[in-house]
């Protein structure tokens, strides 16, 4: 326990440094002319409008959203039965698949990206848009797997006992007892995977970078061919979208618990 | 519902889909990558199956040695700075009222999920001549002319610490949220100053957590693939950048795969160490 003023100062500084790049980018996005000045020269929201009117940016935004929704859904579809199986049955060997699901997230992303590149190239699917969805789903399966393991772990087994004593089979127990209890964890797992897929660059780029332009790929390409304030407005849009998703998780779920703190007893 | 080992095929059925997906789309790509790493490169961008170690022999060149040692030193520096700031910060964070904690966690998670492209772009803007912080220094009279601070080693270090910091905090958070407050109270009652209590009670009690977090932050920093290109100069390229460059721009998949296999081994060994250090804490 350091003195209180020291901690307040540290927290203030950390907050400032974490916010600074975003604030400058937000300022730049308001420039009236095609320049990257801060403070902005003249005020205009034209660069925000351009995200939706320019076919290139709009297309990239839609591509990113579609990829993120589909891959997050697939990630949940892989994680849910796995987490349920481990919770339902006594099968220590199934843990090996859990470890397998955690690995891609811990390793440097470039490794997973290169693995997928070798894989899709070998099977002649390199550059197909759907391969990005499958790659992202496997890459981010860790997140729903973690939230769902926590979710099933929190289910009071006595409810399940009660239901099965009354004659409910596995399917009925899952639908009527377990599912309502783990639903918040399904949603937060989906949301985590969705946000990370939206922001992911290297896997998407290596798998289908030449045929499919997601927003991060589009921003990177734009960086190489000269800066425009649209990159700044897209960045601000992404930051807001990301913060909104996590805000919703925090609003409807228990964020400190999801991140590993004990549940408070009070 | 009795929790016993599954017997019939029907009872095993639910795990079929996830198991199949993970084997086909994770284990097989990994195996393929290892196979490619010993393949023979045909000039012009292709490779044919073989069993040669030529791609691994290139590790012995001075160029690769330079990139490798720079990558390791940079990752170590990033991890040290991130944990140095992150530990006292997280300690305080875990003691804030719940609502304030949640606000910080949302903020940190948002930064953590930002694309490296966006972090690189934001930092190069923050350090640029037209929009950067040097304009602030000029405005208060500390500098005559605004200037660009990027690309440089300092810019790269700042960007990578920025990226690793939220990760470090979230790795430290569970351990520090569970820290027994009675420990500090006892030392305070016995007359230790807050600073002394922090350094003689909190820090030593979390020694293994700190070691584990340093390793995790190190592996995380090793994975940074875009910031060295966006914020650094060519001599600041790391192993991750080199792998991307060989795979995509030099079309040398076998060499890229060999480096990736090497990076996997280093990372897995380190993560294993981190898990071991973390486990000691719980015992």
For A165-182, write each residue's pLDDT tens digit.
888 888 888 888 888 889
Closest residue to B121, CB basis, from A108, A116, A219: A219
Query: Could you read off the pLDDT of B24-83 as tens digits, one per residue?
Result: 999 999 999 999 888 887 776 677 777 778 788 888 888 888 899 999 999 999 999 999
Task: Indicate the number of domains in chain B.
Answer: 1
Task: Indicate the number of domains in chain A.
Answer: 1
Contacts 24+ apart (CB under 8 A), B10-17: B11/A89, B14/A81, B14/A84, B14/A85, B15/A81, B15/A82, B15/A85, B15/A91, B15/A94, B15/A97, B17/A77, B17/A78, B17/A81
Residue A242 in contact with partner chain B when CB distance is under 8 A = yes
User: For tokens 């997230």, what's the residue?
Assistant: A105
* Alpha carbon A184 to its chain's center: 16
In a domain, A72, yes or no: yes
CA distance B87 to B240: 27
pLDDT at B1: 66
Say whether pLDDT at B92 is over 90. Answer: no
Q: Does A231 sit within 8 Å of B121, measured CB to CB?
A: yes
In a domain, A21, yes or no: no
Q: Does B184 sit within 8 Å of A1, measured CB to CB?
A: yes
Say whether pLDDT at B143 is over 80. Answer: no
CA distance B74 to A241: 32
Select from B247, B259, B154, B22 the least CA-distant residue to A121.
B247
Residue among A82, A110, A205 with most chain B CBs within 10 A, to mutate: A110
Domain extent, residue A201, equals 66-258
In a domain, A164, yes or no: yes
More confident of the two residues B264 and B40: B264
In a domain, B54, yes or no: no
CATH number (domain holding residue A220) = 1.10.3720.10
Q: pTM value?
A: 0.89
Q: Does B4 sit within 8 Å of A243, measured CB to CB?
A: no
The pair of three-digit structure tokens given for residue B88, joined into one six-digit string: 């006292």
Alpha helices in B94-206 (DSSP H): 98-113, 116-126, 134-139, 153-177, 181-189, 194-197, 203-205
Query: Could you read off the pLDDT of A221-237 as tens digits, one per residue?
Result: 888 877 788 888 988 99
Interface of B with A in 226-265 (CB under 8 A): 226, 230, 240, 243-244, 247-248, 253, 256-257, 260, 263-264
For chain A, give the mean pLDDT.
87
Q: Does A21 sit within 8 Å of B25, measured CB to CB?
A: no
The verdict on whether omega for the bond into residue B16 sits within 30 degrees of 0, i.e. cis, is: no
Q: With bands split at pLDDT 50, 70 and 90, how would you rate the model's confidence at A205? A: very high
* A107 contact residues in B (CB cutoff 8 A): 219, 223, 263-264, 267-268
CA A176 to chain B, closest CA, distance in angstroms equals 14
CATH number (domain holding residue B252) = 1.10.3720.10
Residue among B5, B26, B47 with most chain A CBs within 10 A, to mutate: B26
pLDDT at B42: 77
Residue A7 in contact with partner chain B when CB distance is under 8 A = yes
The length of chain B, given as a count of residues = 283
CA distance B74 to B218: 9
| Residue range A4-15: mean pLDDT, rounded | 83
Residue among B7, B18, B137, B164 with most chain A CBs within 10 A, to mutate: B18
Q: Does A220 sit within 8 Å of B198, measured CB to CB?
A: no
pLDDT at B282: 54
The pair of three-digit structure tokens given for residue A94, joined into one six-digit string: 């199934």
* B102 contact residues in A (CB cutoff 8 A): 250, 255-256
3-state SS assignment for residue B19:
helix
CA B123 to chain A, closest CA, distance in angstroms equals 6
pLDDT at B161: 95
User: For tokens 């000045």, what's the residue?
Assistant: A37
In a domain, A132, yes or no: yes
| Residue range B223-238: mean pLDDT, rounded | 90
Residue A69 in contact with partner chain B when CB distance is under 8 A = no
In a domain, A41, yes or no: no
Domain extent, residue B103, equals 63-282
In a domain, A34, yes or no: no
CA A35 to chain B, closest CA, distance in angstroms equals 9
Closest residue to B257, CB basis, from A11, A118, A246: A118
Q: With bands split at pLDDT 50, 70 and 90, how would you rate the model's confidence at B280? A: low
pLDDT at A262: 59
In a domain, B49, yes or no: no
In a domain, B13, yes or no: no
CA A70 to chain B, closest CA, distance in angstroms equals 15
pLDDT at A59: 92
| Contacts of B123 by beta carbon, 8 Å cutoff, 6+ apart | A21, B150, B155, B158, B159, B162, B227, B230, B231
> How many CB pairs (< 8 A) connect A and B?
270
């Amino acid at each position: 326990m350091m003195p209180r003023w020291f901690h307040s100062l540290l927290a203030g500084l950390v907050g400032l440094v974490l916010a600074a790049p975003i604030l400058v980018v937000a300022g730049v996005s308001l420039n009236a002319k095609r320049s990257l000045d801060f403070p902005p020269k003249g005020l205009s929201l034209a660069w925000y409008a351009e995200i939706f009117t320019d076919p290139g940016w709009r297309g990239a935004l839609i591509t990113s959203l579609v990829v993120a929704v589909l891959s997050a859904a697939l990630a949940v579809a892989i994680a849910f039965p796995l987490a349920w199986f481990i919770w339902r049955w006594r099968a220590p060997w199934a843990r090996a698949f859990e470890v397998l699901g955690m690995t891609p997230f811990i390793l440097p992303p470039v490794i997973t990206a290169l693995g997928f590149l070798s894989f899709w190239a070998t099977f002649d699917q390199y550059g197909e848009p759907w391969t990005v969805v499958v790659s992202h789903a496997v890459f981010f399966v860790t997140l729903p797997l973690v939230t769902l393991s926590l979710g099933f772990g929190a289910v009071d087994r006595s409810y399940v006992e009660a239901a099965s004593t009354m004659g409910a089979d596995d399917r009925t127990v899952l639908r009527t007892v377990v599912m309502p209890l783990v639903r918040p964890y399904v949603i937060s797992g989906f949301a985590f995977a969705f946000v990370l897929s939206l922001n992911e660059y290297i896997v998407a780029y290596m798998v289908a970078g030449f045929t499919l332009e997601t927003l991060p790929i589009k921003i990177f390409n734009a960086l190489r061919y000269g800066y425009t304030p649209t990159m700044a407005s897209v960045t601000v849009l992404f930051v807001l979208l990301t913060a909104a998703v996590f805000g919703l998780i925090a609003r409807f779920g228990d964020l400190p618990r999801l991140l590993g703190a004990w549940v408070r007893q009070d | 519902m009795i929790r016993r080992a599954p017997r019939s095929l029907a009872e095993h059925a639910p795990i079929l889909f996830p198991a199949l997906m993970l084997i086909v789309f994770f284990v097989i790509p990994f195996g393929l990558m290892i196979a490619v790493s010993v393949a023979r490169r045909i000039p012009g961008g292709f490779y044919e199956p073989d069993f040669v170690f030529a791609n691994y022999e290139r590790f012995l060149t001075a160029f690769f040695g330079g990139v490798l040692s720079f990558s390791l030193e940079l990752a170590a520096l990033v991890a040290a700075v991130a944990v140095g700031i992150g530990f006292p910060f997280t300690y305080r964070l875990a003691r804030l009222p719940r609502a304030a904690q949640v606000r910080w966690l949302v903020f940190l998670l948002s930064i953590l999920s930002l694309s490296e492209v966006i972090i690189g772009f934001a930092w190069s803007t923050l350090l640029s001549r037209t929009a950067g912080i040097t304009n602030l220094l000029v405005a208060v009279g500390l500098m005559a002319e605004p200037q660009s601070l990027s690309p440089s080693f300092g810019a790269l270090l700042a960007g990578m610490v920025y990226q690793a910091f939220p990760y470090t905090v979230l790795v430290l958070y569970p351990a520090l949220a569970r820290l027994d407050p009675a420990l500090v109270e006892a030392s305070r009652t016995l007359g230790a100053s807050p600073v002394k209590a922090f350094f003689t009670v909190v820090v030593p009690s979390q020694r293994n957590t700190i070691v584990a977090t340093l390793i995790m932050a190190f592996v995380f920093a090793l994975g940074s693939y875009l910031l060295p290109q966006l914020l650094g100069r060519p001599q600041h390229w790391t192993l991750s950048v080199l792998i991307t460059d060989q795979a995509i721009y030099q079309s040398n998949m076998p060499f890229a795969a060999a480096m990736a296999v090497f990076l996997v081994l280093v990372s897995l060994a380190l993560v294993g160490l981190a898990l071991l250090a973390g486990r000691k804490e719980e015992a």
